[in-house]
Amino acid sequence: MSTRAVEVVLIAKPWRGGLADYVFRALDDLLPGRVVWLTSYPRGAAQWLGYRIDRAGWRRARVRELAGLNYRAALFINHRPEFEVLDPDERHVLWLTDAPAPGPGTLRPYARVFVSDPGYAAAVRAAAGPERYAGELAFAMHPAVHRPLSGPARGLCTVANRDPKRDAHLQAFFAAGLRPWVYGNYFLRHPLALRRPGRFRPRVAPARLAAVYARHAVSLNVHARVVREGTNMRSFECAGCGIAQLIEYRPGLERQFEPGVEVEIYREPAEGAERARALLADPRRARALAQRAARRACAEHTYHRRVRHALAGLVPALDTAATAAGRPRGAVR
């Protein structure tokens, strides 16, 4: 079988939220034209048709495609059962997100296993073994996408999908008279949106995030129930976009941003409403928080830094590559 030589293979689902796209862009910035994205879920009409006709066969074909590539490293974002047939390989790196609950033996193909949320570390360490568990790999931002834009910044906003915990927090903020603008799948699909149609907007495409944040003064980030420690993608994206943040506290958040200095935090909805009101009334402090968070994100929290850490020692060119902020040039398959 002929093989195609590449530096890195990314195996990931094409999420609407943009995670795989950001990682692919960062890899291709560092290794132009030497990265392949092998999607683990259909992308485009042709893939969807094949998937609908024979899902198991489509997934087996992904494994065969991987076998047809000569690569230095393969970065998997989340585990799929079809990859359990792979032999253990020092080149295979797994990054688990989305409340992972791996079963015994399922992680044997991977030499390094990271988690985005250390609250799930015990289960992942037990499944991977202490020698292969590699620790936390937090989310990040991509400077070409998450960048400050000028705009008539006003009011409180949140970009979020529906979650019962968020429902309660949003209800409390509305009851306190704060009336945040809410972007996401609450739009036309939730009683909160139906009662306050003027404050809810459709889902935002990743490429439009910076423009949305430029219209608002403060971003509210209520974590979904599945987040146990650290923070979600939104905190890093907002930091890159230069908007002041009010974040519902999760243990370990301070590893990423300094509370009270780079971001404002709260623990209960009533406290959050009070702090949101104070931030909105003090634009100077809000701008200072945003500026400090943006500097921290650009220095420490880019996807370029994350992929270098995850693949350290596997791809010599990646260890020494200079970062560029261009668009992806590698193949998406």
pLDDT of the residue at 331: 58
What confidence category does residue 245 fall into, taking pLDDT thresholds of 50, 70 and 90? very high
Q: At residue 329, does pLDDT exceed 70?
A: no
pLDDT of the residue at 326: 47
**% of residues, the chain, pLDDT over 90:** 89
In this structure, the answer to whether residues 236 and 201 fall within a common structural domain is yes
Query: How far lies 254's CA from each of 25, 78, 235, 261, in Å?
Result: 27, 25, 12, 10
pLDDT of the residue at 1: 42
Q: At residue 58, does pLDDT exceed 90?
A: yes
Query: What are the tens digits of pLDDT across the range 12-50?
Result: 999 889 999 999 999 999 999 999 999 999 998 889 999
Q: Mean pLDDT, to the nearest integer, of 260-284?
A: 97
Closest-CA residue to 234 (of 329, 136, 130, 116): 116
- Average pLDDT of the residues of the chain: 94
Residue 93 is classified by DSSP as: E
Query: What are the tens digits of pLDDT across the range 80-131?
Result: 999 999 999 999 999 999 899 999 999 999 999 999 999 999 999 999 999 9
Residues spanned by the domain of 101: 4-140+303-332
Domain count across the chain: 2
Q: Mean pLDDT, to the nearest integer, of 213-234?
A: 97
What confidence category does residue 327 fall into, taking pLDDT thresholds of 50, 70 and 90? very low
Query: What are the tens digits of pLDDT across the range 304-320?
Result: 999 999 999 999 999 88
Q: Mean pLDDT, to the nearest integer, of 119-146?
A: 97
In this structure, the answer to whether residues 73 and 89 fall within a common structural domain is yes
Q: Mean pLDDT, to the nearest integer, of 226-231?
A: 97
In this structure, the answer to whether residues 194 and 293 fall within a common structural domain is yes
In this structure, the answer to whether residues 308 and 289 fall within a common structural domain is no
pLDDT of the residue at 3: 66
In this structure, the answer to whether residues 209 and 246 fall within a common structural domain is yes
Give strand pairing partners of 218.
156, 244
Q: At residue 328, does pLDDT exceed 90?
A: no
Closest-CA residue to 38 (of 77, 15, 11): 11
Q: At residue 289, does pLDDT exceed 50?
A: yes
CATH at residue 278: 3.40.50.2000
In this structure, the answer to whether residues 319 and 263 fall within a common structural domain is no
Q: How far apart are CA 199 and CA 157, in angstroms?
A: 9
3-state DSSP percent of the chain in helix, strand and coil, to 5: 40, 20, 40
